[in-house]
């Protein structure tokens, strides 16, 4: 009986030893576990991201100015037409170049008379989703914003609303296009409708990126570095202000919570932000939090375009707004994540419409 037990034990031991996984099998099992762990971490990151950010909508709607094909076509035409400036040198696209992600990559932009504006021209891409317009929030939406640079003496220098209306009414193409875009108006070519048409076009300038694909559930849409950068972006505190669909654009904030921004950016112009309008001391250096969409393409940065390098801008923001230092490696990862916010402007919008009439 004891011999039978011994033989049974030896047989069991033999099969147990023979079933021991090989080194190759162990490596495969470890790799599979690592992939499972990575997927679980990515899924947790996705849920965290979804709690802070949103994917871009297809169109930025406004019930007071419904978007139609006719309005968009007209707004596209107006956006590129230099006749909206006094001497015919500037169009909306001059400072908000759609072939350059809606900016001109200048610290401040040249106006119609050759003078420069006082602040950096922000991107027109996704601009219709901002809660307010301009760095100081003085316009409520893109409809209001669209009419202001046209009349600004430094920017497009048109002397009055009536001046531009009379000018455009003398162009047969526009008379017909305004009639189609605003069919219920007895007098469709008005200054307000010029604004509405440009704004309708801008409401179509919504440019999603791989980050939206990630938010939609595709864990492979971002690289490992971009995911690690996203996690750092959140954990460092950047998402406190740069959140929502635009990663910003929804609030005004003091630029320099932990110091004077001028000491960090070496800004040459002393811009006091919202205080210039409100005259309230506590609103000194308060500006709109910019959207980070397409940020790697829309340099230079900040309200005065004082910084051209994105990595440097990240360091400045970490210190000024969060009182934190990020390492070189952390900086590079955050910059990598910010690159995932770059979208592609539709080709048909990167240039003037083919039927834009020449200057008179």
**Residue pLDDT, tens place only, 62-120:** 999 999 999 999 999 999 999 999 999 999 999 999 999 999 999 999 999 899 999 99
- 181 and 297 in a common domain: no
- 214 and 172 in a common domain: no
> Is residue 43 a part of any domain in this protein?
no
| Catalytically annotated residues | 155
- 174 and 228 in a common domain: no
What pLDDT band is residue 28 in, cutting at 50, 70 and 90?
confident
Average pLDDT over residues 154-166: 98
Domain extent for 274: 208-339
What pLDDT band is residue 14 in, cutting at 50, 70 and 90?
low
- Residue 80 sits in a domain whose CATH number is 1.10.760.10
- 221 and 191 in a common domain: no
> Is residue 283 a part of any domain in this protein?
yes
Residues 6+ apart with CB under 8 A from 115: 154
> Is residue 2 a part of any domain in this protein?
no
More confident residue, 191 or 359: 191
Residue 360 has pLDDT above 70, yes or no: no
Residues 6+ apart with CB under 8 A from 175: 169, 189
Nearest partner of 125 among 289, 349, 304, 300, judged by Cα: 349
- 93 and 218 in a common domain: no
Residue 354 has pLDDT above 80, yes or no: yes
Q: How far is CA 113 from CA 21, 86, 117, 126, in A?
A: 79, 9, 11, 28
More confident residue, 16 or 202: 202
> What is the pLDDT at residue 17?
53
For 272-292, the pLDDT digits (tens) are 999 999 999 999 999 999 999
What pLDDT band is residue 357 in, cutting at 50, 70 and 90?
low
What pLDDT band is residue 19 in, cutting at 50, 70 and 90?
low
> Is residue 56 a part of any domain in this protein?
no
């Amino acid at each position: 009986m004891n011999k039978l037990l011994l033989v049974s034990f030896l047989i069991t031991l033999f099969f147990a030893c023979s079933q021991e996984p090989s080194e190759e099998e162990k490596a495969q099992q470890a790799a599979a576990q690592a992939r499972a762990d990575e997927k679980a971490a990515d899924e947790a990151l996705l849920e965290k991201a979804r709690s802070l950010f949103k994917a871009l909508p297809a169109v930025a709607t406004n019930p007071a100015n419904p978007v139609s094909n006719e309005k968009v076509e007209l707004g596209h035409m107006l956006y590129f037409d230099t006749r909206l400036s006094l001497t015919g040198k500037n169009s909306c696209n001059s400072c908000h170049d759609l072939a350059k992600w809606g900016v001109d990559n200048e610290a401040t932009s040249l106006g119609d008379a050759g003078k420069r504006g006082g602040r950096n021209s922000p991107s027109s891409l996704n601009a219709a989703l901002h809660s307010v317009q301009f760095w100081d929030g003085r316009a409520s939406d893109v409809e209001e914003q669209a009419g202001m640079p046209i009349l600004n003496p430094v920017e497009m220098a048109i002397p009055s609303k009536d001046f531009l209306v009379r000018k455009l009414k003398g162009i047969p193409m526009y008379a017909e296009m305004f009639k189609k875009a605003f069919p219920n108006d007895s007098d469709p070519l008005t200054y307000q409708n010029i604004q509405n048409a440009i704004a309708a076009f801008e409401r179509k300038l919504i440019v999603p990126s791989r980050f939206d694909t990630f938010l939609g559930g595709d864990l492979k849409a971002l690289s490992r570095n971009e995911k690690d950068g996203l996690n750092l972006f959140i954990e460092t505190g950047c998402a406190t202000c740069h959140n929502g669909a635009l990663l910003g654009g929804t609030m005004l904030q003091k630029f320099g919570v932990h110091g004077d921004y001028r000491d960090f950016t070496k800004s040459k112009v002393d811009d006091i932000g919202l205080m210039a309008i409100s005259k309230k001391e506590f609103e000194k250096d308060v500006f709109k939090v910019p959207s980070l969409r397409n940020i790697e393409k829309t340099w230079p940065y900040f309200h005065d375009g004082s910084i051209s390098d994105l990595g440097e801008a990240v360091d400045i923001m970490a210190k000024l707004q969060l009182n934190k230092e990020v390492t070189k490696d952390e900086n590079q990862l955050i910059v990598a994540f910010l690159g995932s916010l770059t979208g592609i402007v539709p080709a048909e919008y990167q240039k003037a419409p083919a039927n834009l009439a020449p200057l008179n």
